[in-house]
A and B are shown apart, each in its own frame.
Chain A
Amino acid sequence: MVLACLEKENVDVVFGFPGGAVLTLYDEIYKMGKRHILTRHEQGAAHAADGYARVTGKPGVVIATSGPGATNLVTGIATAYMDSVPLVAITGQVATPFIGTDAFQEADITGITLPITKHNYLVKDIGELPWILKEAFFIANTGRKGPVLIDLPKDIQAQEGEFDYPDRLEISTYKPIYEGHLGQIARACTAVKEAKKPLIYAGGGVASSGAHEEMLAFSQKTRIPVTTTLMGMGSIPYEYELFLGMPGMHGTYAANNAINEADLLLAMGVRFDDRVTGKLDTFAPNAQIIHIDIDPAEIGKNVLADIPIVGDVKRVLAEMLKRVQPGDTEMWCKKVVDWKKNYPLRYRQESNNCLKPQFVIEELCRLTAGEAIVTTDVGQHQMWAAQYYRLKSPRRLISSGGLGTMGFGLPAAIGAQVAFPEKVVLCIAGDGSFQMNSQELATAVKYDLPVKIAIINNQYLGMVRQWQKLFYGGRYSHTNLAGGPDFVRLAEAYGARGFRVASPGEVEETVKIALNTPGPVVIDFQVDPEEDVMPMVAPNTSIVEMIGGEER
């Protein structure tokens, strides 16, 4: 019956890992020939389904068994929850008579995932299953998207029941608001007309609602510069003249100073995360704030909005586009563009042969024409990827923004490659993060998924080391990873190709070879171990107090 529901929901592939409590379900998968990607760890399956969802905009589906199988999904579910990614997780559960008896491989996964799912279900009757599945997909992929978990006891899987799949669904207690309030939209348009220094601050909600075209059109029509968060990267083409880059802790000089000076901040699909705002009471001190978000709870959570608009960013922007009149922003645009020109992101390339991580990413961007799907792990390499991979379109930088999950990159790349077999999928990984899910190399090899993995190998847990250097007196407590595995041989052991690059001169040729090699490839970039991500704003300070953002 589950499989029939998946058909109804047009699920073309599921990610998972079998076990005792999902034997029946897997037997159906076998009999029906459902496309299933077997990972090597349930966490990998969750991240792969998440990566699939992020690149396609369709819900990812992941299956795991009860107990440890289910608990191994937890990090993956929490990752999806924090970044509002539609995910449907189906877990096996011990048979209903055994629930609550500490049976073999029993865990209360609905209890465990209560705080990290949008909603979850424990199925107690086969008759409930069709509407629960229908509701699960509906809830996961509407409103503010997010993961939904269905816990399915073993005996229920084996039962037969009437398959009555609802076509439409009305949940009286769940009614997301899509259309913005017209009165507030009119107020927002007036504010735009009057503003002298307006700024768009856009996040994951823009990509999620597919509002990137409207946003660009809005910025072009009103001549308002744009900064996008990590989650919003790609919603505006990097090369767009009024794009200022990323704001916040590792944001650009232009973006952070624009926030500081702005008299109007148009916050779209963002949640004023601490990594963006720095010290809250110093954030956008001069600005009136328009906050557009589909989740009413985000509005007023961290920052009070002067003009709150609850709704889908795409629809709200489309409505605003019809009415808005540009204000006089030319002086302001000139100022921010000058900032952008005079204070660019940069790094020092010493005359010696030292390989700089930023250079590696710039080269990866150049050699893939900025058109790869880039997944990342978490840490320094993630920030460098956001800073130096010049994206052209949305849903192309796949990264764990909210939870900051190391080990996300490779499985997410697998999910992305499954979704788009023909596209270049590039996993930019850290040497620390990569080792958290390196077993998924086996998955990539088995399904012949040609993901290209660039390990930015600095022999450290680099971001933690950077904080230790700057804020903990240089005491590198347990961040040194030197002596780790030989990544080239590791790749080969799994049946993938491996290359090593230790000097700038080798980058181009090796990347070209890797891109032309079929199947998965690992490149071990042995970069400068002491390089830091700059600029940087110390935690809980104002975002204009930047270290390393000096004038060119």
Chain B
Amino acid sequence: MKRILAILVEDRPGVLTRVSGLFSRRGYNIKNIAVGPTMEPGISRMTVTVEADPLTVEQIVKQLNKLVNVLKVNDLTDETSVERELMLIKVKAEPGRRSEIQQVAATFRAKIIDISPDSMIIEVTGEEQKLQAFLLMMQEFGIKEIVSTGSVSLLRGSKVTRELRA
């Protein structure tokens, strides 16, 4: 089962290693991870997507909470939240197929951000499912390269993650 964890950490050297090392040594798999600053100076937020059963996730959360640099861990999976991932796709685009690609991109509200004589770079954001669907469409044209951020996630409404019970 896919779970999304929001982890607030102190922005100290090695904190990413501490978190990711904990996953690997206890045999948990990180599907993707995104790290960035928060509004509070010195505090960063990691969004980690894991594939695990509920008991394992409970254990992951407890183990994360034991790390001295970890401030708070929340499982956002069961909360109403919005989740986004950003992906850049370099796709083959001979002049004759450009408009076709543009149409598909428009449907997915993706943006074309670079064009060269035989390729394009497209930027698309959304939930994982949407990105997968878009990739499927792009395969037809020939994908040269992709890169993506991990998922990031925020609670809907005015509630903020720090106010959730751990």
Instruction: Give A residues with C-beta under 8 Å from B.
Output: 110-111, 114-115, 118-119, 122, 124, 139, 171-174, 295-297, 300-301
Q: Do residues B65 and A296 form an inter-chain contact, with CB atoms below 8 A?
A: yes
A297 touches B59 (CB 8 A): yes
Given the known A-B contacts A296-B62, A297-B66, are A172 and B71 also in contact in the complex, defined by CB atoms under 8 Å?
Answer: yes
Given A296-B65, A297-B66, also A173-B10 (CB < 8 A): yes
Residues of chain B with a CB closer than 8 A to A300's CB:
55, 58-59, 62
Contact between A295 and B21 (Cβ–Cβ < 8 Å)?
no
Chain A residue at smallest Cβ distance from B69: A173
Residue in contact with A174 in the complex, picked from B13, B21, B68, CB distance below 8 Å = B68
Please report B residues at the A interface, Cβ cutoff 8 Å: 10, 13-14, 17-18, 21, 25, 55, 58-59, 62-63, 65-71
**Which of A110, A124, A171, A301 sits near B68, CB closer than 8 Å?**
A171
Q: Which of B10, B14, B65, B66 has the most CB of A within 10 A?
A: B66
CA distance A171 to B65 in the complex (A): 13
- Docked-complex contact A122 and B18, CB < 8 angstroms: no
B17 touches A111 (CB 8 A): yes
Rounded to whole Å, the gap between the CB of B134 and the closest CB of chain A is 38
Does the CB pair A301–B59 fall under 8 Å?
A: yes
Give every chain B residue within 8 A of A139 (Cβ-Cβ). 68
Given contacts A297-B62, A297-B63, contact A118 B14 (CB under 8 A): no
Complex Cα gap A364–B68 (Å): 44
Is B21's CB under 8 angstroms from A114's CB? yes
- A and B contact pairs by CB, cutoff 8 A, 15 listed: A111-B14, A111-B17, A114-B17, A119-B67, A122-B14, A124-B13, A171-B68, A172-B71, A173-B71, A174-B68, A295-B66, A297-B59, A297-B62, A297-B66, A300-B62
**Distance to closest chain B CB from A65 (angstroms):** 22
Q: Specify which of B65, B67, B68 lies most central, judged by the most chain A CB atoms within 10 Å of its CB.
A: B68
Q: How far is the CA of A484 from the CA of B127 in the complex (A)?
A: 66
Q: Is the CB of A115 within 8 A of B63?
A: no
CA distance A166 to B68 in the complex (A): 19
Given contacts A119-B67, A119-B68, A300-B58, 16 further A-B contacts (CB under 8 A): A110-B14, A111-B14, A114-B17, A115-B21, A172-B71, A173-B10, A173-B68, A173-B69, A173-B71, A174-B68, A295-B66, A296-B65, A297-B65, A297-B66, A300-B59, A300-B62
